[in-house]
């Protein structure tokens, strides 16, 4: 039984060590080194080139190194019957919560405005009206963000496909719940997966339904956002700004208008990242479940795309 780690950027040593501590019997290779391909039962992958995963004939499951699995499902050569397992990692979730809370707090407490005042030596004490936080996507990460925003005293609503209840949160479900949800979101936080249904969901139509002066936080995927619609709504004064972590093209090209748009903060897809020392547990537990014929946590529903 072997596992191949496929990733292009960060070194894989920490992953190898974390997996070895929890599953010493697991033979781990780092792409492009694979050992005998027919012995590879698992891949742990981020953005493998199309066709690479399909090159392993005896795979039992595909693990995503991140919470999103769009990078796996967009590869048409990946066999449709193989379990795809998204990352569920307490460190990743915690970091996403930190990012979202930071964005909400800095918008609420007008940090940019304070900095601008400071630059002019201005002692000015603005009002800080209460903000309502709306979270799109109440999954592993969205729920944790909602809970932390609640703990900070914000009024929180959420939107998900099924609209499953969440304590303390006003939950709206499906297309019919979207207008009410949007109308109550002074800060809209997108934590949706990228699927056919969610592509382009942050458009003039939806963002235009936010209250005037609303602020967008997109830590989902760049494909959720219609870039020009956001820029236009900011220029028109309907939205006050945005904090964006994910983009249609990454790295964000140097001539992209988001770099210089007033009120827009660009972060380079760093809202959250997977920590091997904790995430290895998820991988090892999922492998054990698969081997025992059980359903592991995080298996993606292929038709839904998340
Ligand atoms: P989950 O799969 O746990 O949750 C997904 C949520 O989105 C669920 O609440 C689901 O609804 C909802 N949803 C999916 N499709 C729709 C739809 N069509 N309409 C309404 N709601 C929908 O995902 P995670 O919380 O683990 O991760 C969410 C996303 O965050 C990832 O897919 C990734 O894109 C992004 N991410 C970004 C990172 C970054 O660094 N920027 C890091 C980590 C994740 P329901 O509950 O009804 O199923
Ligand atoms: C992601 C991640 O899905 O970093 O973006 O986990």
Question: How much is the pLDDT for 109?
Answer: 97
pLDDT band at 11 (very low <50, low <70, confident <90, very high): confident
Q: Give the domain range for residue 286.
A: 2-89+274-291
| pLDDT at position 292 over 90 | yes
274: left (phi over 0), alpha (psi -120 to 50) or beta: beta
Residues 145 and 245 in one domain: yes
Residues 95 and 239 in one domain: yes
Token pair belonging to 284: 């090892």
Residue 246, domain member (yes or no):
yes
pTM: 0.97
Residues 111 and 241 in one domain: yes
Residues 51 and 38 in one domain: yes
Question: How much is the pLDDT for 6?
Answer: 97
Residue 145, domain member (yes or no):
yes
**How many angstroms is it from 118 CA to the middle of ligand 2?**
35
Residues 61 and 209 in one domain: no
For tokens 């090159």, the residue is: 55
- Residue 207: CB within 6 Å of ligand 2? no
Point out the ligand 2 atom lying closest to the alpha carbon of residue 69.
3
What is the per-residue pLDDT across 215-226, written as a single tens digit (0 to 9) for each?
999 999 999 999
Nearest CA residue ID for atom 33, ligand 1:
68
Question: What is residue 232's DSSP assignment?
Answer: H
Mean pLDDT of the chain: 97
Point out the ligand 2 atom lying closest to the alpha carbon of residue 87.
6
The bound ligand whose nearest atom lies closest to the alpha carbon of 220 is 1
pLDDT band at 139 (very low <50, low <70, confident <90, very high): very high
Cα three-residue angle 216-222-228, rounded to 5 degrees = 70
Domain at 123, CATH number: 3.40.50.720
What span, in angstroms and rounded, lies between the C-alpha atoms of 39 and 173?
44
Residues 224 and 123 in one domain: yes
**How many angstroms is it from 88 CA to the middle of ligand 1?**
12
Q: For the chain, how many structural domains are there in total? A: 2
What is the per-residue pLDDT across 65-110, written as a single tens digit (0 to 9) for each?
999 999 999 999 999 999 999 999 999 999 999 999 999 999 999 9
Residues 55 and 108 in one domain: no
Question: How much is the pLDDT for 31?
Answer: 97
Question: How much is the pLDDT for 1?
Answer: 87
Residues with active-site annotation: 221, 269
Residues 18 and 152 in one domain: no
Nearest CA residue ID for atom 6, ligand 2:
66
- Residue 64: CB within 6 Å of ligand 1? no
Query: Cα Rg for the chain, rounded, in angstroms?
Result: 21
Token pair belonging to 158: 């959420």
Point out the ligand 2 atom lying closest to the alpha carbon of residue 221.
5
Token pair belonging to 76: 């048409």
Question: How much is the pLDDT for 263?
Answer: 96
- Residue 193: CB within 6 Å of ligand 2? no
- Residue 241: CB within 6 Å of ligand 2? no
What span, in angstroms and rounded, lies between the C-alpha atoms of 246 and 108?
22
| pLDDT at position 288 over 90 | yes
- Residue 137: CB within 6 Å of ligand 2? no
Residue 305, domain member (yes or no):
no
Residue 18, H or E segment: helix 13-22
93: left (phi over 0), alpha (psi -120 to 50) or beta: alpha
What span, in angstroms and rounded, lies between the C-alpha atoms of 23 and 144?
29
- Residue 67: CB within 6 Å of ligand 2? yes
Sign of CA dihedral 246, 248, 251, 255: negative
Distance (Å) of CA 297 to CA 57, 88, 300: 24, 8, 9
Residues 178 and 228 in one domain: yes
Residues 115 and 258 in one domain: yes
The bound ligand whose nearest atom lies closest to the alpha carbon of 137 is 1
Residue 59, domain member (yes or no):
yes
Query: Residue 145: which residues within 8 A CB-CB, separation 6 or more?
Result: 96, 97, 100, 101, 135, 189, 191
The alpha-helical segments, DSSP class H, found in 125-213 are 140-151, 174-183, 204-207
The arithmetic mean of pLDDT across residues 119-133, rounded, is 97
Residues 104 and 190 in one domain: yes
Question: How much is the pLDDT for 9?
Answer: 81
Residue 7, domain member (yes or no):
yes
Residue 297, domain member (yes or no):
no
The bound ligand whose nearest atom lies closest to the alpha carbon of 268 is 1
């Amino acid at each position: 039984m072997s596992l191949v780690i496929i990733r292009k950027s960060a070194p894989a040593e920490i992953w190898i060590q974390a997996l070895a501590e929890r599953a010493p019997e697991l033979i781990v290779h780092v792409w492009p080194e694979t050992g005998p391909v027919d012995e590879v039962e698992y891949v742990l992958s981020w953005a493998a080139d199309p066709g690479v995963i399909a090159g392993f004939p005896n795979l039992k499951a595909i693990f995503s190194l991140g919470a999103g699995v769009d990078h796996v499902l967009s590869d048409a050569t990946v066999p449709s019957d193989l379990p795809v397992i998204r990352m569920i990692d307490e460190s990743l979730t915690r970091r996403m919560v930190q990012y979202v809370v930071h964005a909400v707090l800095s918008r609420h407490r007008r940090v940019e405005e304070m900095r601008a005042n400071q630059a002019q030596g201005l002692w000015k004490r603005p009002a800080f009206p209460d903000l309502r936080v709306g979270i799109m996507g109440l999954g592993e990460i969205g729920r944790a963000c909602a809970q932390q925003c609640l703990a900070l005293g914000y009024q929180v609503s959420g939107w998900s496909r099924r609209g499953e209840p969440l304590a303390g949160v006003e939950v709206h479900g499906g297309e019919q719940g979207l207008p009410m949800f949007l109308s109550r979101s002074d800060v809209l936080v997108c934590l949706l997966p990228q699927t056919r249904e969610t592509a382009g969901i942050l458009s003039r139509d939806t963002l235009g339904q936010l209250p005037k002066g609303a602020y967008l936080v997109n830590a989902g995927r760049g494909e959720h956002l219609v870039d020009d619609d956001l820029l236009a709504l900011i220029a028109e004064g309907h939205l006050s700004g945005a904090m964006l972590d994910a983009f249609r093209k990454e790295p964000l090209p140097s001539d992209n208008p988001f770099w210089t748009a007033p009120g827009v903060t660009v972060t380079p897809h760093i809202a959250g990242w997977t920590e091997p020392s904790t995430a290895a547990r998820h991988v090892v537990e999922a492998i054990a479940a698969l081997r025992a014929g059980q359903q592991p946590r995080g298996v993606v529903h292929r038709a839904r795309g998340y």
